[in-house]
Every structure is written in C-alpha cells, then in structure tokens.
Structure 1
Amino acid sequence: MSGSRRQDEDREKDEASHPRLEFRYESDGRGGLVKSAVRALEVLELFDDLGRRAVVTEIAEILGYPISSTSVLLQTLAACGYLDLDPRDRSYYPTARVALLGHRTSEAFVTNGPILRLMTDLSDRTGAIVILAARSGVGLKYINILQARGRNAPHIVLGSVRPLTESQGGYAILSRMREREMQRIVTRIRTQSDRPEAVPTQRQVQERIDEGRARGYFFGVDPVVTQGAQLATAFPDHIASEMSLIIGGPTQSIESRVAEIVDAISNGSRHHLNFDLIRRG
C-alpha cells in the first residue's frame, strides 16, 4: 500500500472516530507576536474548550493551521510534558502539568471560586450560554464558557476575540472607563478595521453606554451567533478588573426572558460575590 493511500485511510479513520466540530477558531489577528507561542497557547485553550481528546487533523481544522505544523507542535508539547499521545488512536490529551500552570491564579477564578460558582449557577438557572470575557487590547476575549444545553444549541469557541464595540460584554467594559479612554479605544478600533465605516462613532458608542448604564446591563445582537442575542454586565474593579459576564442564546429566547435573566444575575451576584452586578445609573 502506498504511503499516500495509507495516509488517506488514516485520515478517514480519524474522522470516523472523532466527529469534527462545526466551527472555526477566531484569532484576534494582532501582529508582532511569536506565532509558535500563540499557537501553543491556542492549542491548550482548545483542549479546555473541547473537554476531550482530539487528533491532529481535527485540531488543525478547528484552528485553521496546516496539518504538518500542527503535528510538529503537538509532538513538541508532548515532549515538554504538556500533552500525552494515545498510540491506539493517535489522539492527544492534556497532562496534569497543564492544570498546574494556573494553580496560583486568583481565588475568584479557580474551580470553587465565586465567579465560576456564579457562572455555574446562572447556567443551571437559565440553560443559556454563560461567558466570562476579558479585555484584550481593543478587543474582548472569551476566557471561560459554559455552553448552552440542547442538541441544537450554538457552540461558542473559547478564546474568540471581537472588538469591544462588537460585543455587549465589550460595551459593559467600556461603560466602566473614563470618557477619554473610551474615545481612544474607539479611535484605535476604527484605525485598525478593514471597514472603519462599519465601526460605531464615538457618539454612537457613548449613546449605547448611557443606555446600558440607565438599565444596569447591556442587551443586543450577538456578534458571533447567527440570530443570537447577548445580555451583559461588567465586574467592578475590586472583583475582576476589565472583565464582563455575558448570557447568550437565540434572540427570541433571550429577549423573552430578559427580566428573568436580569433577576438571576442580580440575585446570583449578590449571593456569590456580595455585590449586585445589575447597577443602574
């Protein structure tokens, strides 16, 4: 049997044993970064998102990497002790060493920390997508996600990055800033955008911020999920600086349950954080 034919059969076996996810990873596209370092971190984030083993071809497809360089990267991470390879199906999985990387993280973000307890509580109460997001430059990065339940529920990719002005969670973070800082960020987003005319003006952003402050939360279109909506609020600096909490799902479902979701966030945050995240004015 020729080498190419064997590779094709191996690839088909991979696909049959490991169904592919129907999404592609969205990087933030920032220049001036060491590509290999970024890719190594994105691989580890992907394993956290998947919650299972994965083969080279699946990882390459989701992250949009060449198969050859993905294979070398995974072999390197395995040699360094961060991944293990199961020779039976050639799938990779993280080792305990990966878990130890964050063992000194702030108490609020460990498994039994108050923020993750709040997220779990909201996931149980609403059944919707619950996202913990953090500012990353002029963007918003999804750093922890509790996916929605149900076979047809949309799947949001961990590590996705969107401009702050394209996410309700981004507006929530902008609302905590001084006006001059907000204006500077909007200017940078417009400068870096391929379609600056599509970026909201400083005045439009300020109007959205004023509306959200008056309500105590931000509600609007989800930038990632088709026909989706988000409801978001930001954490105060003493709990989690420049971070936001997002509840998302199909527009009809979220829109019809706004009052219920707002109450769940308010009650849950007072219980777990001793602070009401729904603060008007």
Structure 2
Amino acid sequence: MSYEMTPALSEGVPVSTPGFSAEIPSSVVKSAARTIQILEFFDHIRRDVSISEIANALHYPQSSTSALLRSMVAMGYLQHNRVARTYRLTRRTGLLGAWVDPSLVRQGAIVNLAHGLARDTEETVILARLNDMSVQTIYVAEGGVRPASASVGSQHPVARSAAGMALLAMYEDRQIRRILTRLNSERPRGETAIDVADYMERLSDGRRHGAFAGPGSAPDMGAVAAQLRHDSAGDMLVIAVEGPEQRIMPRADALAKLIRAGLAQLAG
C-alpha cells in the first residue's frame, strides 16, 4: 500500500486528493482490508472527506464505501456531518492501540487528567462521547479496589446516566426536549418513560454546578461527569468518575470539585 506525495498546502491553492494504491492481496478479507485502508486514508489526508472522495481515491464502489462508513460511524470510529455530508475520525480512533505504547498517548493532557483523577479519587475514570443516541466509552483509567465495570467501546442509552446528561447539556434546551421525547417514543416495552420536566431541572442544576451526578454506565454504579469542550476532534466529549453507587453518591460534591479543578488546569 503506498501513497503519492502531494504538494504542501498553501493558501488559495487547491490540493488534489492524494493518490492511494488500494490493491488487496487475495489472502485478505476484502471488507477488513477496506476498513483499515479507510482509516489509513484519513490519517494521511487529515481532514473531513466525502463518500465520493473516499470511493474515488481508494477505487471502491460507492455503495460499498457508503455501507462501510455507516458501520464505522455506528462503531464510533467516524463522525458524520449530515449538513456537509462529510466524515472525520473520532477521538476513539486516536486512542485505539494506546496500550501498545502508553507513553506516547499519556503525554496527552486529557488522558493525563483521567489518570490523575483515577489516582486521586481511587475510582474508575472514563472518557466518553455521544454516538447517535448512546454514550460510548472511548477510554478507561482504572483506580480503586473495586473498579467500575466500564470497557472501551461499550455503549449505553444517553438519557440514563450522568455522562449522558453532561453530553446532552451541550445542546440547546429545545433540542434536548426533542431528543427525550424521541427516546420516550422509542423506548422498549416495559421501560419507564423519562420524566422530561424532572430531567431538564436536574440538567439545569448540573449546568450551574459544572458537573452532573447520577447513574453510571452500568447497573448499581454511580458517576459524576463533566464536559470536555475540545474542538480539534469535532465531537462531544465528557469525563466521568465512576464506581459503586453507595460509594460515589455521598462523595458527589467532593468528586465534582476535583473534576472542576482538573478541568481548570487543563484549560490553563
């Protein structure tokens, strides 16, 4: 697999899409190879791209490219801009393989913050993003004697956790109400409906305090979450301290204070 070199970017000068050799050996599963090649293409071009641009550069059928991109969005590796009709990598992609050489990734301020909070609180700390109507865990820093059962890639309904509330709070209130109404209409049979008025009141309280306390990402877990506003990856991100509910909730105010202090340092 090889790339053709492209001229350096210069203001006002259009740069053509880099060439890409997309030959796939006969011994390799085609769909697996194409998924990896798409990730490598993003890493090379380093900007948002459309379906047609990917299909043309990699010489894939447009229908196959579209199906692959939809799957990668569902898995949380790509983010789709429905207005511009473009795709980009998410933070989850950037953290993939961090365990191979942690020293490379842990130089990042956000990951350092997660590990610092895990050490100071002796609880599990997660980084999570919004993936459609779910909260997806993209990084876990374990701490304490009974860590929360969070795992990278796991997803849970956005309106059912502190992390989800922190993510939804980034939207305008009218959008949040519309999302909650949709979730109520689509909820599984037998599941209790979300009390929209109560939810909005708790969300407003979390906004005022700069942190959101409530359920964790798994049953019997509690969490305190806060927003991480960072535009470089283009998607919403939160950080949450999680642990057994009976251990987290009595400490919610103290944990929120630690998170806010860490975020203040991160902001510099």
2:243 is aligned to 249
Paired residues for 1:207-246 under 5 Å: 207-226=201-220, 228-238=221-231, 241-246=235-240
2:5 is aligned to none
How has the CA–CA distance of structure 1 residues 187 and 127 changed in structure 2, closer, same or farther, with 3 Å as cutoff? same
Match of 1:138 among 133, 141, 162: 133
Match of 1:167 among 147, 161, 170: 161
How has the CA–CA distance of structure 1 residues 202 and 263 changed in structure 2, closer, same or farther, with 3 Å as cutoff? closer
Say how many residue pairs are matched: 174
Q: What's the offset of the Cα at 1:192?
A: 2.6
How has the CA–CA distance of structure 1 residues 200 and 261 changed in structure 2, closer, same or farther, with 3 Å as cutoff? same
Structure 1 CA distance for aligned equivalents of residues 190 and 183 of structure 2: 8
Give the % identical residues: 26
Would you identify which runs of 4 or more consecutive aligned residues in structure 1 move more than 6 Å? 98-103
2:64 is aligned to none
Paired residues for 1:87-126 under 5 Å: 110-126=105-121
Q: What's the offset of the Cα at 1:238?
A: 3.6
Q: Aligned AA for 2:226?
A: T
Structure 1 CA distance for aligned equivalents of residues 193 and 243 of structure 2: 24
How has the CA–CA distance of structure 1 residues 264 and 143 changed in structure 2, closer, same or farther, with 3 Å as cutoff? same
1:73 is aligned to none
Between 166-175 and 246-255, the greater mean CA deviation after superposition: 246-255
1:49 is aligned to none
Structure 2 CA distance for aligned equivalents of residues 127 and 189 of structure 1: 34
How has the CA–CA distance of structure 1 residues 265 and 187 changed in structure 2, closer, same or farther, with 3 Å as cutoff? same
**In structure 1, the residue corresponding to 2:106 is in which secondary structure?**
coil
How has the CA–CA distance of structure 1 residues 180 and 149 changed in structure 2, closer, same or farther, with 3 Å as cutoff? same
1:194 lines up with 2:184 in the alignment: no
In the superposition, the TM-score normalised over structure 2's length comes to: 0.56
Paired residues for 1:249-268 under 5 Å: 249-268=243-262
Counterpart contact for 1:117–1:272, Cα < 8 Å: no
Q: Aligned AA for 2:164?
A: G
Q: What's the offset of the Cα at 1:120?
A: 1.0
How has the CA–CA distance of structure 1 residues 204 and 145 changed in structure 2, closer, same or farther, with 3 Å as cutoff? same
Cα deviation 1:55-114 (Å, max 9, x = unaligned): xxxxxxxxxxxxxxxxxxxxxxxxxxxxxxxxxxxxxxxxxxx999789xxxxx943111
Any unmatched runs of 5+ in structure 2? 1-30, 37-92, 99-103
Q: What's the offset of the Cα at 1:216?
A: 2.1
Q: What's the offset of the Cα at 1:130?
A: 0.1
Counterpart contact for 1:129–1:147, Cα < 8 Å: yes
How has the CA–CA distance of structure 1 residues 239 and 149 changed in structure 2, closer, same or farther, with 3 Å as cutoff? farther
